[in-house]
């Protein structure tokens, strides 16, 4: 995709991957290298986005949430995060790291829930205003995702899905990785220390940190 192949022009990093793949653990592990970085997460990261987060993450609606409605909710949160935080901070010369990006919508709503992936891409490229991050994709097989999920105390409605859902999510991530520039795969089945080390090596390669 020509529109996805731009240069990494800003110090903007995204950690992606299935829930419980170890993204937040790794970001915490890199803390001393990311002292001046602006850290955000999706959904949320702004007052507006946090309100949407509360709605879309609930486990108990009493009725199914339409995947298109979910996608538009995540996109609204993302649009606000990009315009209120990510772009201004980057323009101000800061480095930014985000836990999740529109690739989560592609994987969960597209791969997991079957929403049209071309549509997700088109809307998301508008929402993210041409920003192409360096992506650290935490790859983990669904069996291990389910094992780790057992230890999680704040399950959201996607965490409650069965293994075939997570297999589709992973497939969509792998498919996206073939199309998106600056996409690096981190083997998330390794020890916490090795995962952190691999992440730092990629950031170092891009000149974003010094180790």
Ligand X SMILES: Nc1ncnc2c1ncn2[C@@H]1O[C@H](COP(=O)(O)OP(=O)(O)O)[C@@H](O)[C@H]1O
CB of 49 to ligand TYD, least distance (A): 10
Residue 11 has phi, psi (to 5 degrees) of: -75, 75
CB of 57 to ligand X, least distance (A): 12
Round to whole Å and give the CA distance between 199 and 184.
Answer: 9
Could you tell me if 75 and 127 are in contact, meaning their C-beta atoms sit under 8 angstroms apart?
yes
Q: Among residues 23, 121, 168, 170, which is the contact residue for ligand TYD, using CB under 6 A?
A: 23
Round to whole Å and give the CA distance between 193 and 173.
Answer: 24
Between residues 100 and 170, which has the closer beta carbon with respect to ligand TYD?
100
Closest CA to 103 of 143, 67, 75: 75
Cis status, amide bond into 43, omega within 30 of 0:
yes
CB of 93 to ligand TYD, least distance (A): 26
* Count of residues interacting with ligand TYD (CB under 6 A): 15
Under the criterion CB under 6 A, does residue 12 sit at the interface with ligand TYD?
no
Under the criterion CB under 6 A, does residue 10 sit at the interface with ligand TYD?
no
> What residue 42 binds from ligand X, ligand TYD, none (CB within 5 to 8 A, per partner kind)?
ligand TYD
CB of 64 to ligand TYD, least distance (A): 14
DSSP-derived 3-state class of residue 121: helix
Under the criterion CB under 6 A, does residue 156 sit at the interface with ligand TYD?
yes
Per-residue contact flags (x/-) with ligand TYD for residues 158 to 177, judged by CB under 6 A: xx------------------
Round to whole Å and give the CA distance between 5 and 32.
Answer: 31
Element holding 97 (H helix, E strand): strand 96-99
Could you tell me if 86 and 12 are in contact, meaning their C-beta atoms sit under 8 angstroms apart?
yes
Instruction: Report CA Rg, the chain.
Output: 16
Under the criterion CB under 6 A, does residue 42 sit at the interface with ligand TYD?
yes
> What residue 100 binds from ligand TYD, ligand X, none (CB within 5 to 8 A, per partner kind)?
ligand TYD
- Name residues contacting ligand TYD, limited to 174-203 (CB under 6 A): none
Between residues 74 and 137, which has the closer beta carbon with respect to ligand TYD?
74
> What residue 117 binds from ligand X, ligand TYD, none (CB within 5 to 8 A, per partner kind)?
none
Q: Among residues 46, 86, 96, 108, which is the contact residue for ligand TYD, using CB under 6 A?
A: 108
Cis status, amide bond into 96, omega within 30 of 0:
no
């Amino acid at each position: 995709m020509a529109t996805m192949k731009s240069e990494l022009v800003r110090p903007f990093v995204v950690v992606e991957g299935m829930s419980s793949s170890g993204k937040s653990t790794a970001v915490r592990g890199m803390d001393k290298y990311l002292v001046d970085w602006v850290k955000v997460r999706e959904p949320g990261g702004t007052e507006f986005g946090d309100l949407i987060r509360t709605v879309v993450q609930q486990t108990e609606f009493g009725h199914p949430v339409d995947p298109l409605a979910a996608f538009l909710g995540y996109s609204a949160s993302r649009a606000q995060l990009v315009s209120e935080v990510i772009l201004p901070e980057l323009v101000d010369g800061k480095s930014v790291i985000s836990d999740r990006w529109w690739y989560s919508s592609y994987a969960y709503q597209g791969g997991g829930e079957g929403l049209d992936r071309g549509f997700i891409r088109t809307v998301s490229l508008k929402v993210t205003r041409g920003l192409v991050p360096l992506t650290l994709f935490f790859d983990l097989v669904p069996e291990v995702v389910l094992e780790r999920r057992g230890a999680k105390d704040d399950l959201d409605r996607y965490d409650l899905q069965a293994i075939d859902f997570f297999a589709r999510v992973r497939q969509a991530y792998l498919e996206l990785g073939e199309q998106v520039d600056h996409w690096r795969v981190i083997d998330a089945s390794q020890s916490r220390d090795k995962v952190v080390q691999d992440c730092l090596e990629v950031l170092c390669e891009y000149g974003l940190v010094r180790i």
